[in-house]
Structure 1
Amino acid sequence: MNFIESLLVLVVAGLAAAWSPKNSYVPSTVNCPDDIVLVREANGLSDNETEWLKRRRPIAKEALHDFVKRATKNFSDNSLVDKVFSGNDSHAPVVAIGASGGGYRAMLSGAGMISAFDNRTRGADEHGLGGVLQGATYLAGLSGGNWLTGTLAWNNWTSVQTIVDNTTADDSIWDISHSLVNPDGVNVFGTADHWEHIFKTVRQKHKTYNASLTDLWGRALSYDFFPSLYRGGEAYTWSTLRDAEVFENGSMPFPISVADGRYPGTSVISLNATVFEFNPFEMGSWDPSLRAFTDVKYLGTKAVDGKPEKKGECVAGYDNVGFIMGTSSTLFNQFLLRLNTTGMPRVVKSIISHFLKDISKNEDDIAVYSPNPFLNTSYVSNDYTSSLVDSKDLYLVDGGEDNENIPLLPFLQKERGVDVIFALDNSADTTEYWPDGSSLVATYERQFGKMGKDIAFPYVPDVETFVAEGLNTKPTFFGCDAQNMSDLAFTPPLVVYVPNSRMSYNGNQSTFKLSYSDNERLNMIKNGFEATTRNNLTDDSNFAGCVACAIMRRSQESMNATLPKECKQCFQDYCWNGHISHNGTKIQHNDDYTKSASPSATSSSKGGASNSYSPRSGLSLFAFMVTVAGLF
């Protein structure tokens, strides 16, 4: 039995009970308790997540302890390690990893980054950061990053190494040698048959529910992510994971997918977008414009104020894995529209054109959730409109449309108590398709607007500084000193920023590149590993120890324990030192990492407000920085 066959047996045997009731893409009615309430207020973690954490924490703690011990074994004094990990499980550092959007570039480069943290990757312990993934509590993906995290999680928590080792298998995961729009290459009849199956399943759903172009997109994606399942898992549901042994027993991180709310004909920016998360138990938003979550398993149920219209009747099967992964990447709906008039096979053009007649042009990049699970719920903050809960349908779009292209907001909820975030940035912010820190800037700015009043994110420089000082080319730490962030709502996590950069391969491929040869795939993954590990720890043999210091930092601060001298050196080497560059001129705000850094400038960010402000001063952000610099 080969790997794919073994995987299929594991998935089908362990998870069949959670598949779509009709064993198809079309949702259907199922029995549910008469007194079920499908929506809860977002006033804390769900009971399900809380119970799951009890199983995950001891496993994560042990894995982190092993990594930190190995990474600091040559420290002159590593007594801090025992202090940090000597308490109960709930006091151990909480690690989160967020993978940015950026199409297949983000998926493949991000795969290399994730593999650098995974002790299942050959060489990751000796030349990388193996064990950090095993010690992570949360793992979020957005758009292309969600293709990565979703693939790993919903394939029985497979590893990038396993995927790489099976590249030549008949049904290999991520076989994208042909465009997903034209998956059978020169075999036009095969491509036509493929798309006809997709179209028929979506059309069947559309008879009862308001399907959208995202349904087509999600179905097409699934063939590459779940090739061992019938028609790419057309009956495979998101909530399936909660019943998978590898998740249920806490052996993997808590996966989260991120999308934005946007109504047809409107636009979103980082300061006004309602950010939604999907996890194995729920979907919803912490934001004050909604403040509610619903059971993801029963999406599609007609309900008012969270109560089904018909007692004892719910809908299941709406939460198709591909549809939810497609929801986080609706930007790529434009591919189907663009290729509709170019090199797409004629039969595919006909299928998509036929479907487009049934949807509004304003919904081209929107995933429609019909009916709206939050209809007439009552948790929206008083100073917000009730537009989200008044609409009969819920409209979601690509999680990167608000410029927060790294899915960080789920980790900034105080209830989750995250201590350190590894922010994997494979964005295409520059004309050369490299990241420039824009995503961090957008998330930083958000906390000073109405939508971000309950989050905290460390100070970051403006985009110009990111580029001028090369912070977008190598790992950088932000928020190294908790005592200097007292202006924020609470002490935020320390952020380890890991940007895509060229090491052994040009990882700056176009977001809209839809096919990669086997060689290109492997080189993208390899380059991502190298970018994360400082070139396999050859650029800095102490980098693993510095990552260990970042993981322990918040615990060390709370205990007021002494830092090893090696950690002090690490923070001097990797923490943003407060420099702000304007027109190529560096302005020194701080002498070292232990001094308070100034908030980010916003003039270089895309789609955000023209200025922001300090939570206390009320000055425009640029004026605030100049004041701090002593230039007035």
Structure 2
Amino acid sequence: MLLWFLLLLSSWPLLTLTIAVQCPPASTQLVRDASGISQKELSYFTARKQNADRKLHEWLRKVTTRPVFPDSASKPPPWGDFELEWTTLPSVALASSGGGYRALLAGAGVVKGLDSTEKQDKGHGGLGGLYQALTYHAGLSGGAWLVASMASNDWPNITTLKDGLWKSRFPQGVFVPGTNLAQEMQHDALIREDVQQKENAGYDTTMTDPWGRLLSYQLFEGGITQSNNTLSNLAGKSKFKDHAVPYPIMTAILASSEHPCDISPSNTQIEMHPFEWGSWDEGVHAFTDPAYLGTVLKYGKPVNLAPLGKPECMAGFDDLGYIMGTSSNIFTFACSHNMSLSEISPLGAVVLEEMMPGSRAPNVHDLFASYINPFRMRYASKEVTHEAELLLTDGGLSDHNCPIWPFIQPARAKTVDVLIVNDNSADVNHFPNGTAIYNTFLRARKVGLTRMPTIPPPEKFVTKGFNARGVFFGCDEPDTLTIIYLPNAEFSHPSNQDTLKVQYSAEEIDGMIENGVKTARQGTIMPKGWDVCVACAIMKKSNARLSDICLECFNKYCFRYGEHKMFSR
């Protein structure tokens, strides 16, 4: 399978238009310490929070204007109108896991199930409207494809993306960027023409470059030919400027330059979003402006000078396809599982050699995404201070397949209270068993991140049935996030598709997305009170007084920390 992957990709060089631009004023910091969220992110959150609170208020009123359970008609509602009017509402985010097209489509279904603009969500009750109340939406690998596809196309709803774009691209498969031979040859020529531009600019190319361009054709309306489609330019989208959408984040992991194939849950996590690119982790603990990725920096200052002697910066390196490709870079599987290229096939080495500029011999670094190190000679970034380049790969390879890490940082303690986690991992038979979220819990505990709630190990996870139904974590831990966990489960379609499946028919696209809708709703017919229980889980992070109805919800859906203290050791 991997050899087939390499052979197909060998025909597709990259398209990343990186150009020299004037640097920002000297007073502008290109690199900053990770001491809190940036002023730009804070400003976006502040404005977004006002819109999100209004939508959350509408949704909470909608789902609590009827009896919740069969015996609750005579009971008071979960909270009174006075409580709702005067309570500081929690901030809610969404994390979409990795898992290839399975994660993209199943995750899209969950978004559809939370979206008030979808036809089947209009009316009384349900979860429709909760997406409009989110402050953040993070994605990893296949989940990053979902986030990027929505953002690049200015956040249409899932039905619009599905019918207007995905159904015309996915049936051909990711390795056939065109609906006919002429279009395919045209795109091939465009990519081959532009690879030389990146090489002339002095950048190395790796497997991630053509991979990102192939994904661009699949997921962006403009496909391979779309210009200025960068991570930083997402901030110019109309819905982003109106603060009408959750702030998008994509994640990946940093590989060691000396032992890049040794990937474990302790690898540094990198987060990438319109305003910043970097890491909270101790080895880096810094962020840079993604608009200037590709600029050679030392001590946080540009090194190269333009002809007139002014500092020269580079722009365009943060191509959104390359960012997506970085988050979903599965090629590292070859070495992280102790497989050399020669063990895969002698042809594998030939394919890589043909992709390398000039006569440079291929090496293991070519399996990673390569970035000029913006933190070079920044001594507080001790893991990377002496590195000229940074090697990144798919975050799922470190067994943190759900992008929870950005939201358990102390810096976001006041911007996220509740996190909806849609887990589409492939732990057992391509269904999740809690391994990803448990590994994040263990890692968080090891490094002292106390906002991650207690998660049971996979064996207990499966015994309790948490791998197949919604569950709330953090109910009894007031200082942690509340996690509303939504695992991929089969409701109406076999949603456990292989991660490496790269071709989906129109019928399969519909089936996967509708099964994802049912994941959000927890059934073909939503269980009585599920939407209200989700509301209770959210409002538990407020100072509202909750009635016995919410207590019933917590008894039904909460993982009780007090009953399982053994798992917190």
Alpha-carbon spacing, 1:406–1:572, altered in 2? closer, same or farther (3 Å): same
Matched positions, count? 526
Q: Which residue of 2 aligns with 1:589?
A: none
Question: Of residues 278, 285, 298 in structure 1, which corresponds to 2:292?
Answer: 298
Q: Which residue of 2 aligns with 1:590?
A: none
Q: Which residue of 2 aligns with 1:586?
A: none
1:74 to partner: Cα distance: 2.1
TM alignment of 1:470-509, pairs within 5 A = 470-483=465-478, 491-509=479-497
Alpha-carbon spacing, 1:159–1:358, altered in 2? closer, same or farther (3 Å): farther
Alpha-carbon spacing, 1:547–1:217, altered in 2? closer, same or farther (3 Å): same
Q: Which residue of 2 aligns with 1:375?
A: 376
Question: Of residues 451, 456, 465 in structure 1, which corresponds to 2:460?
Answer: 465
Contact residue 225 and residue 232 of structure 1 kept, 8 A: no
Is residue 64 from structure 1 mapped to residue 63 from structure 2 by the alignment? no
Cα deviation digits, residues 410-455 of structure 1 (max 9, x gap): 111222221111000011111x111111111001001222xx3244
Unaligned residue ranges in structure 2 (runs of 5+): 1-14, 68-74
- Look up the SS of the partner of 1:388 in the other structure: coil
Cα deviation digits, residues 30-52 of structure 1 (max 9, x gap): 11234132000000110101111
Alpha-carbon spacing, 1:539–1:159, altered in 2? closer, same or farther (3 Å): closer
Is residue 42 from structure 1 mapped to residue 34 from structure 2 by the alignment? yes
TM-score, normalised with respect to structure 1 = 0.78
Output the CA distance in 2 between the equivalents of 1:184 and 1:422.
36
TM alignment of 1:5-154, pairs within 5 A = 25-35=16-26, 36-74=28-66, 76-78=75-77, 80=79, 82=81, 85-87=84-86, 91-126=88-123, 128-154=126-152
Question: Of residues 273, 276, 280 in structure 2, which corresponds to 1:279?
Answer: 273
Contact residue 332 and residue 393 of structure 2 kept, 8 A: no
Q: Which residue of 1 aligns with 2:557?
A: 574
Question: Of residues 490, 513, 527 in structure 2, which corresponds to 1:540?
Answer: 527
1:401 to partner: Cα distance: 1.5
Question: Of residues 525, 535, 541 in structure 2, which corresponds to 1:554?
Answer: 541
Output the CA distance in 2 between the equivalents of 1:477 and 1:114.
18
Contact residue 96 and residue 423 of structure 2 kept, 8 A: yes
Is residue 160 from structure 1 mapped to residue 158 from structure 2 by the alignment? yes
Cα deviation digits, residues 218-240 of structure 1 (max 9, x gap): 011100111335x2425411111
TM alignment of 1:596-607, pairs within 5 A = 597-598=564-565, 600=567
Cα deviation digits, residues 559-613 of structure 1 (max 9, x gap): 3x532111111111111246xxxxxxxxxxxxxxxx353254xxxxxxxxxxxxx
1:268 to partner: Cα distance: 5.2
- Look up the SS of the partner of 1:400 in the other structure: helix
Alpha-carbon spacing, 1:312–1:183, altered in 2? closer, same or farther (3 Å): closer
CA RMSD of aligned residues (A): 2.6
Amino acid at match of 1:287: D
1:190 to partner: Cα distance: 4.8
TM-score, normalised with respect to structure 2 = 0.86
Q: Which residue of 1 aligns with 2:411?
A: 415
1:201 to partner: Cα distance: 2.0
Alpha-carbon spacing, 1:82–1:524, altered in 2? closer, same or farther (3 Å): same
Amino acid at match of 1:363: H
Percent identity of paired positions between Structure 1 and Structure 2: 35
- Look up the SS of the partner of 2:132 in the other structure: coil
- Look up the SS of the partner of 1:134 in the other structure: helix
Output the CA distance in 1 between the equivalents of 2:168 and 2:419.
27
Amino acid at match of 1:227: E
Alpha-carbon spacing, 1:97–1:289, altered in 2? closer, same or farther (3 Å): same
Cα deviation digits, residues 374-398 of structure 1 (max 9, x gap): 1111333xxxxx2312100011111
Amino acid at match of 2:430: Y
Q: Which residue of 1 aligns with 2:448?
A: 453
Alpha-carbon spacing, 1:71–1:103, altered in 2? closer, same or farther (3 Å): same
Of 68-77 and 390-399, the range deviating more from structure 2: 68-77
Cα deviation digits, residues 341-393 of structure 1 (max 9, x gap): 9xxxx9x99986510574643124310002x111111333xxxxx23121000
Output the CA distance in 1 between the equivalents of 2:503 and 2:555.
41
Output the CA distance in 2 between the equivalents of 1:106 and 1:196.
31
Unaligned residue ranges in structure 1 (runs of 5+): 1-23, 381-385, 484-490, 579-594, 601-613, 615-620, 622-632
Question: Of residues 198, 204, 207 in structure 2, which corresponds to 1:205?
Answer: 198
